[in-house]
Amino acid sequence: MTWKPVLLLLGCLVSTVALAQTAPSPASSTAVTDLAPVMVSGVQPGPGLWKVSRGDHVMWILGVSSPLPEKVRWESGDVEHAIAGSQEVLGQPSVKFKAKVGFFGKLFLLPSIYSARKNDDGRTLDEVVPADDYARWTALKARYIGRDRGIERWRPIFAALELAGKALKAANLSSSGGVTGEVKRLAQQYQVPMTQVRYEVAVEHPREALKAFKAAGPDDVACFHSTMLALDTQLPQMAARANAWAMGDIETLRRIVGVEDPRQICTEAITGAGFARQLGMADIVPRVRGMWLENARRALASHRQSFAMLSMTQLLAADGYLAALRAEGYEVVAPDDEAATVPVAPAPAASSPAQASSVSH
């Protein structure tokens, strides 16, 4: 274990961790919805590919989603063909924390890690969150976690994320579905250079960073509220979204992803906190966006064909990444668009090297 779980967990929220892509219900009931979402299983194709082009240079983009059905085996011939014919693969934009601390430094930091996860002054969740939210928490915890008294002293944001992980697993939902790993495998198989689009936050003094988190951490009560509401009332929508991705149902994805994302409340709580400004995280969302767009422009200019991954939110949002490229004059075609009829070139033999110019990583 390292010192990083506290900040890495927050960084994941800013970049790719998802709970739900649907707006929480305004209902005030504290009863846990007794639903067992029906998940698709077996081999599924996933969504089609978005096409971004300028002249005869094209980038094929896979929209990724989380969570996904746990028992689905994703196999997409179009993705394999697109990667095999590409000269570069762009990874999904992400955030990584880096700290200069050795082995013994990690050991000394362990007590600080655990204390940063807990509420100040030994307070319990029922003392720091509204009564309605705590009632929802109690019912959800009984179902998905069980009798764990220690978690009652955790900060709301960490307790909420722990509960979310348990709830999604119980609903047969997986955090990633193995999609990113499969894309990496295909890039290696066809010898296509892969560029990780990763924004790194350098933490020069981890101990001071943990102190700053405790002293000026996020106001995470709003995040706790949105998570409890989503887990209580929105599991069917999460399941529907996961199934739609697996089956390539773009129309349903547009309808579900196109509404307010409760994750945003958690992200805003984190990036607006005092400790985030000290670590240079206050403007991390536009920085990650700018980094990906810069890499996309470069890949499109340098290669006849490239491949990339983006979250469905980033793909479908009216002000998302593809909207930015469209505004700059790139042609953007969705998989369900009638113009999306240009076939992807057949995949070369697995032993053939990609027709690639070298990319620095």
Whether 356 is covered by a domain: the verdict is no
The CA distance from 254 to 338, in Å, is 16
Give 178's Cβ-side CA count (13 Å radius). 13
Q: Domain count for the chain, please give it.
A: 1
Residues 6 or more apart whose CB falls under 8 angstroms from that of 232 comprise: 29, 30, 31, 32, 33, 136, 139, 140
Whether 355 is covered by a domain: the verdict is no
The CA distance from 85 to 60, in Å, is 10
Range of the domain at 173: 5-22+43-333
Question: 6 in helix, strand or coil?
Answer: helix
Answer whether 39's CB lies under 8 Å from 70's CB. yes
Whether 34 is covered by a domain: the verdict is no
User: What does the DSSP assignment read for 159-198?
Assistant: HHHHHHHHHHHHTTEESSTTHHHHHHHHHHHTT--EE--E
Kindly compute the dihedral angle of the four CA atoms of residues 8, 10, 12, 14, in this order, to the nearest 10 degrees: -140
The CA distance from 347 to 233, in Å, is 44
Whether 344 is covered by a domain: the verdict is no
Question: According to the model, what pLDDT value does residue 248 have?
Answer: 86
Element (H, E) at 62: strand 57-64
- In angstroms, what is the C-alpha Rg of the chain? 21
From the list 82, 10, 36, the residue with the least C-alpha distance to 340 is 82
From the list 79, 49, 78, 55, the residue with the least C-alpha distance to 303 is 55
Whether 116 is covered by a domain: the verdict is yes
Which residues in the chain land under pLDDT 70? 1-37, 97-116, 176-177, 201-219, 257-282, 338-361
Strands (E), 215-346: 305-311, 331-333
| Global confidence as pTM | 0.76
Question: According to the model, what pLDDT value does residue 30 have?
Answer: 43
Whether 225 is covered by a domain: the verdict is yes
Question: According to the model, what pLDDT value does residue 196 have?
Answer: 92
Q: How far is CA 317 from CA 21, 108, 193, 282, 349, in A?
A: 11, 44, 28, 22, 37
The CA distance from 141 to 145, in Å, is 5
First to last CA, the chain: 27
From the list 57, 63, 60, 53, the residue with the least C-alpha distance to 331 is 53
Residues 6 or more apart whose CB falls under 8 angstroms from that of 96 comprise: 11, 198, 199, 200, 201
Question: According to the model, what pLDDT value does residue 87 have?
Answer: 97
Whether 352 is covered by a domain: the verdict is no
Please report where in the chains the tokens 């019912």 appear, as a residue.
Answer: 139
